Amino acid sequence: MDIKDYRKKHEDDVAQARASRSAHGAPEEFLGRREADADTRAKMLCKMRMTSRNLGELIPLFLDILGNKSEAVTVRSAALDMLSASEFAGKAFADYRPQVIDAVRALASDKSPTLRKNALEYLAQQRDDYARDILTAAVTAPEEAPVDQAKAIQLLSLDDHTNAADLVRGRFEDLSETAKEEAAYILGTDPTSADKLSEVMVDKTVRERLRRIAAAGLKALDLQRFAERAGVVLVDRGDSARLKAALVSMAQTARPRQNAVVTSALDSAVETARSRTRSKTLKSAAARYFAAQRDKA
């Protein structure tokens, strides 16, 4: 590769970029196009040139739009999007944070379901009390909730002031399939849930993905029990090759910490699974498992 030509190409590209830059992206342009359709206005908002120098001008504009109930939902969503982005653009955002939180809380009771959901997601990430209460209700009374049960469980897990594990543990069997998966992610690091995860991991009536999540959680909680249960699955001729491959890969990643607990029984189970299967995925996983064992020996 000729570096001089390479440089020239880049210099030309940059010169062209500089030459084509216009006032496009300035707030005045957006404000001057009130007659444009909602999608166009939303796109203009998102293309606003945001720098640390103009945050003091932009953030109030975004807040105005967010709070304007007569503005289209897509434009107000775009304003929330830009407020999230402005958090990265400069320290000035910190001065506006309380106003942003207030504006988004107001959005949590908006008539638009999209905006209510967006607001809850934003507030959950900020570990906001108000969102916590609404999301908790969504888990216990999902019919009336602004977000579905699975999403509510997921958002609650972002907030370490919520004991999401307590909330889902007792009602696990009553949850929807997707909500069960979200619950399993939470229970996966709850020390009192090892028994439940152990049970789900080997239950062939349970969806495979849920079993994998349970296995990953059990691995994080109780390595020895994970190894024992994985051994049970691996030698079961009637169980899924995909699941077995996943368990073997999990066992491989745990190997550095497993010296005391990886028994020859697990190695034997992996070898049994490998020798019995035609699945290339499982054979590859087993090969990597044993190769990792040799590398670390």
Cα 153 from Cα 212, distance rounded (Å): 19
Of the listed pieces 61-69, 119-127, 133-141, 269-277, which binds another protein according to CB under 8 A?
119-127
Q: How far is the CB of 258 from another protein (least distance, A)?
A: 11
Interface residue with another protein among 75, 79, 122, 168 (CB under 8 A) is: 122
Considering only residues 250 through 289, tell me which ones interact with another protein, judged by CB under 8 A: 250, 253-254, 256-257, 281, 285
Q: How far is the CB of 118 from another protein (least distance, A)?
A: 6
Cα 257 from Cα 260, distance rounded (Å): 8
Q: Which amino acid is at 40?
A: T
Cα 145 from Cα 134, distance rounded (Å): 8
Q: How far is the CB of 59 from another protein (least distance, A)?
A: 12
150 binding another protein? (CB under 8 A)? yes
Considering only residues 28 through 87, tell me which ones interact with another protein, judged by CB under 8 A: 46-47, 49-53, 80-81, 84-87
Interface residue with another protein among 26, 61, 101, 220 (CB under 8 A) is: 220
Could you tell me how many residues of this chain bind another protein (CB under 8 A)? 71
Interface residue with another protein among 134, 145, 243, 270 (CB under 8 A) is: 243
1 binding another protein? (CB under 8 A)? yes
Q: How far is the CB of 141 from another protein (least distance, A)?
A: 18
Nearer to another protein, 170 or 256 (CB): 256
Of the listed pieces 4-12, 31-39, 61-69, 264-272, which binds another protein according to CB under 8 A?
4-12
Residue located via tokens 């390479």? 6
Cα 80 from Cα 174, distance rounded (Å): 35
112 φ, ψ to 5°? -80, 120
Residue located via tokens 């990953």? 216
180 class by beta-carbon count within 10 Å (0-12 exposed, 13-18 middle, 19+ buried): buried
Q: How far is the CB of 263 from another protein (least distance, A)?
A: 19
Q: How far is the CB of 96 from another protein (least distance, A)?
A: 14
- Residues, the chain: 297
Cα 281 from Cα 247, distance rounded (Å): 12
Cα 56 from Cα 96, distance rounded (Å): 9
Binding mask 170-199 for another protein (x = CB under 8 A): --------x--xx--xx-xx----------
Interface residue with another protein among 65, 66, 134, 245 (CB under 8 A) is: 245
275: its two tokens = 């020798």
Q: How far is the CB of 287 from another protein (least distance, A)?
A: 12
The answer to whether the beta carbons of residues 199 and 237 sit under 8 Å apart is no
Cα 74 from Cα 117, distance rounded (Å): 13
